[in-house]
Amino acid sequence: MDRSNSLEPHTADGRFGRWLRGTLQAVGIEGENTSFTSELTPSTTQALTLLRLLVGLVMLYDAWGSLSWSHKTEMASFLGVGMESAWVALVVAGVSFLKIAIAASMLSGRGVTKLGWAGFFYGLFVWIAIEHGGDFGQDATDPGVGLAYIILFLFVIGAERLRSDPDLSHNEILAFARVLFGLLWAYDATLKLQPYFLDHYLDYLTAAQKDVAGTWQASYDQIWIVLSQAVGPQLVAWLVALTEAAIAISLFSGRWLRVFGPVGLGLSFVIWSTAEEWGGPYSMGIASMMPMRLFGMAVIYLLTFFYVWAFYNPLDLLNRSRAAVLSEAK
């Protein structure tokens, strides 16, 4: 199919966006397979708007976290200067302003694509410069929060393009976001399949529980610890790793996402509420003690899976079953 002129209508993508779309087309990523996706309806549009607003609230909260004293201390340490240095105030102000600008765009619906790319590049900077491409220690369990933000903003940008071109088969950005999300989960699964995680799975939960000793969160963690002990910690660790691998395959291929999308959403919630202790910039440092203060990673996974839900709605399975039953009844 000739797509040579398909880049012209989407001027809001900017030069980089058009270059990326052209590159994706060149490697065969031209859009979603609409035989797998759900039909776009007014309800889908409303859901995507709500998700954009939630992304805006996350960025607003990130900006608030960036203004905290502990964040300034972390930034001074990262820059290798004292707290009295003007560089600390300048960089913190710059980071906070960027996050506020992105939040304002997401909340107002103005300049979403341009500020979405700003969020994309910010996540890329955090992932490369701050996280060095992820955690490669023996106790690593994820590829870093920066990559999660990169993928989330790709979904935001791809969803915004639907306003001018509702054809998912022409939306390279959404397809790329899904594939990249699949690679992220494949990375996650690979880390979970390492002997250290399989042998120390329960240690992650008990360590998180100690950090919140004496609170309701400790009691919540205890429930998961007891359940894991009842099933067998190593068996649970294997189940987590294999589930993540299945999620990765589903995301990468675009198949079975009406099943594995909700599974990924549920698993992300469990990780966020246990090992990450509802982690965010407000936490006690469990999830996000870093110079570019951001929400805990699993909550970003949650938001991203809700985007996947919008395009691969699991309710379609119920509707098809109901239609089949009615057809047989006739």
What confidence tens digit (pLDDT) does each residue in 275-308 have? Answer: 877 765 544 433 344 555 666 678 899 999 999 9
**Positions of E strands within the chain:** none
When pLDDT is cut at 50, 70 and 90, the band that residue 325 belongs to is low
151: CB partners within 8 A, 6+ apart: 177, 180, 181, 184, 304
When pLDDT is cut at 50, 70 and 90, the band that residue 8 belongs to is very low
Query: Quick one: pLDDT at residue 12?
Result: 56
In this structure, what token pair is assigned to residue 149?
A: 């933000």
Does the pLDDT at position 9 exceed 70?
Answer: no
What confidence tens digit (pLDDT) does each residue in 141-154 have? Answer: 677 788 999 999 99
pTM for this entry: 0.87
The answer to whether 88 touches 76, Cβ cutoff 8 Å, is yes
C-alpha distances (whole Å) from 93 to each of 72, 101, 115, 116, 227 are 10, 12, 18, 20, 45
What is the average pLDDT value for the chain, to the nearest integer?
85
d(CA 273, CA 220): 9
**Residue 292, amino acid:** M
Query: Quick one: pLDDT at residue 70?
Result: 73
Q: Give CB contacts under 8 A, 24+ apart, made by 162-167.
A: 162/40, 162/45, 162/48, 164/9, 164/10, 164/12, 165/9, 165/10, 166/40, 167/31, 167/34
For residues 248-273, average pLDDT: 94
185: CB partners within 8 A, 6+ apart: 244, 245, 247, 248, 251, 264
The DSSP string of 99-157 is: HHHHHHHHHHTSSHHHHHHHHHHHHHHIIIIISTTS--STT--SS-HHHHHHHHHHHHH
Does the pLDDT at position 4 exceed 60?
Answer: no
Sign of CA dihedral 34, 39, 42, 47: negative
What confidence tens digit (pLDDT) does each residue in 168-218 have? Answer: 999 999 999 999 999 999 999 998 999 998 998 898 888 888 877 888 888
Query: Quick one: pLDDT at residue 185?
Result: 95
Instruction: Of 101-105, 196-200, 251-255, 297-301, give the lowest mean pLDDT range.
Output: 297-301
d(CA 304, CA 146): 13
Query: Quick one: pLDDT at residue 279?
Result: 64
